[in-house]
Amino acid sequence: MDWLMQRRRGVVAALLATLLVINVPARVMTWFLPGEVNLSGLSGTVWSGEAVRSWVMVDGRAVMLGKVQWRISPWRLLWSTPLRVSAEWGDQLLSTRLGVGITGKWIFRDTGIAFHLDALRALMPLYLGGRVTGEFDAIGLSHDSLEEVRGRVNLHNTAWTARSGHIPLGSYRVDVGPGVDRTQLDDPDGREVNSVGVRDIKGVVSTEDGSLVLNGTVTLSGARYSIDLNATGPVARDESFRRAVSVLAIPSATGFEVLISGQL
C-alpha cells in the first residue's frame, strides 16, 4: 500500500494516458489513410468504430464501399492480423482480417467478398452480368504484387449482356492456390540481371452448370499473367456469340479456346 501511495501520481498518469489512447476518436483514422480512400459519418474510436459511407477513387471514379466497420485487437498488433474490417453497400459485401508482416507484406485472412459483375463496368468494358462470391483463407500482397492467394471464387448465373443480346452462360468455380516455383528476370530481355524466385498463383476454372462449359486455368506469375480456357456447349457453338468474342477466342471443332498472356 505504501508503494502505491508513493507512486500514485505515476499510476494516475498511466491510467489517464490509457484512457486517452482507448478513447481516441474514429476521425483520427482519416489521418493515416491514402488520399484515394474517403470516409464520412464517422463514429466510435480508432480501436472500434464505423463510417456510414466510404468510397475509393480509382482512375478518377468513385467506387462505393458503403458502410464500413472496424475493430483493432491490441494484443495482435505485433503479430497476426489485428484489424478486422467489413464493408457493406447493398448486397455488395467485403470482410477480412488484416495485418502487416515483419517484411512489410500485407496479410489478409478469412476474407469474404460478394458483388455483382455490373459493378466492374465502371472500371472496364466488361459485358457480363451475374454475381461473384469468394472466400479466401489467405492473401499476401507485397510491393503492389500478389504473392499468395488461397481460396475459391464462384460466379453465379453469369450472362452475356452486350448489345448483341442477353445470353445466359452458366455458373462457374475458380479454385485458387499456389502453382509452381519459377524464376523471373527483372529485365524482360534477360540480360545481365539477377533472377528472383517467383511462386505462381493458379486458378483452376470449372463449370458447375450452364450452356457455356468452361474449363482451364488462369495463372499469375509476378507481373505476368496467362489465361488458358476451353469453351464447349451450345453457346460456344453459337455463331453470333462466337463473333462477339472473336477478338479473344480461337475457334475449335467443339467451340473455341481463349489463350491470352501479358503483363500487368
Cross-strand bridge partners of residue 201: 178, 220
| Mean pLDDT score, 207-227 | 93
**Tens-place pLDDT, residues 18-38:** 444 555 677 877 777 778 889
Rg (CA), the chain: 24
**Tens-place pLDDT, residues 175-191:** 999 876 655 544 444 44
DSSP line for 191-205: -S--EEEEEEEEEEE
Give CA–CA dist 69/190, Å, rounded.
Answer: 46
What is the percent of the chain with per-residue pLDDT over 70, rounded to a whole number? 81
Q: Name the amino acid, one letter, at 12.
A: V
Question: Is the predicted pLDDT of residue 74 greater than 50, yes or no?
Answer: yes
Question: Is the predicted pLDDT of residue 198 greater than 70, yes or no?
Answer: no
Helix, strand, coil percent values for the chain (each to nearest 5)? 15, 60, 25
Pick from 106, 66, 104, 107: nearest CA to 87: 66
Q: What pLDDT score was predicted for residue 16? A: 42
Which phi and psi (to 5°) does residue 117 adopt? Answer: -60, -25
